[in-house]
Structure 1
Amino acid sequence: MDHYLDIHLLPDPEFSAGQLMNALFAKLHRALVQLGSDSIGVSFPKARDGAAGLGGHLRLHGCLAALDDLLALPWLTGMRDHVRLGEAAPVPADARHCRVRRVQADSNPERLRRRAMKRHGLSEDQARERIPDAAVKWLRLPYLQLRSQSTGQPFRLFIEQSPPQPEPRTGAFNTYGLSRDATVPWF
């Protein structure tokens, strides 16, 4: 993780920054799937705790070869008028490190009840008693609104960025550029 690439969203009168970030991130995800890459991470330098959106700045992290491979794909087609793409650059020597990961919320009580009925052989009334509507956990994290490629259903991808730490942690990144363990440079 010695290089990074910044992508800034440009203001648009027709689309909000959130809509543009959702579209950009969906395209990035498809490109990472196509590459089969587990060495490119993401961060959102303008994201704020408690805010719904992730800001207008997406930073990609990886080795120079991995970032070049990504840029060789036509994944930014349709987005070029909406973004300012920087050039790959070395990570600053004094950069700290941050873990960027997905957090999944149990925010749909009906889905939780169906799962409990299937797994534990509960009746609908038993499941409703075990999982009341008040059991729902709501997250106060920024998120992306995406659509599942397999089911077509919309879902929220909640993102948590840990506080910066002095030492990096290695590991693999998923096709969203997120990792449970690995860190990305933070500056």
Structure 2
Amino acid sequence: MEEPRLHRDGTRIVSQTESIKALTHPLRIRLIDLFRGGDELTATQCAEATGESVASCSFHLRQLAKYGYLERGEARGRERPWRGMRERGITLDAEPADREAFAAVVAAGSAFLNDAVERLNAWYAQAADDDPEWTKASTQRFTTFWATPEEMRELGDRISALTEPFQGRFEDPSTRPEGARHVRMLAATWTDPQS
């Protein structure tokens, strides 16, 4: 396992190919998400939350621990729970010239994106039945523009700064305002290969 390095926004930088590949499985993406709130969960609890088998969850939890994404929690009698590594997030970093590592970044990014799109589609399916205040507060935007690499990096930094005040609310429920809900945000910038 590589030594942890931190990005300027506090996320863990992952650049080792095998560590990146560990994030390409859809169940592993869902498992990592379960631990974002600081909970300690057993493989059985993970299986109940994901609809997967205990054996499958156990295997994938061990793989995530092998690459430093999870660790063992405090034993509770015979139960052996897992917990997240208390990181703000993960930044995948590979040079495009390193084809194997870059392919792993693409595969992991696709797995995260597919999970996010599935969750967004699940929200779309029930949005009409939700509280209208929440439905109207939700936003989906798509835009195009011309920018330099420096401007794209600055935009990413500004988005991170906008979400900064909300980050501690996962770990400390007492910081959540009355009536707050778990909200997801998907933001991506990329250059259009057809332009």
Q: TM-score of the superposition, structure 1-length normalised?
A: 0.27
Structure scoring higher RCO (CA < 8 A, sep ≥ 6) equals 1
Where is the helix percentage greater, Structure 1 or Structure 2?
2
Structure with the higher fraction of residues in strand conformation: 1
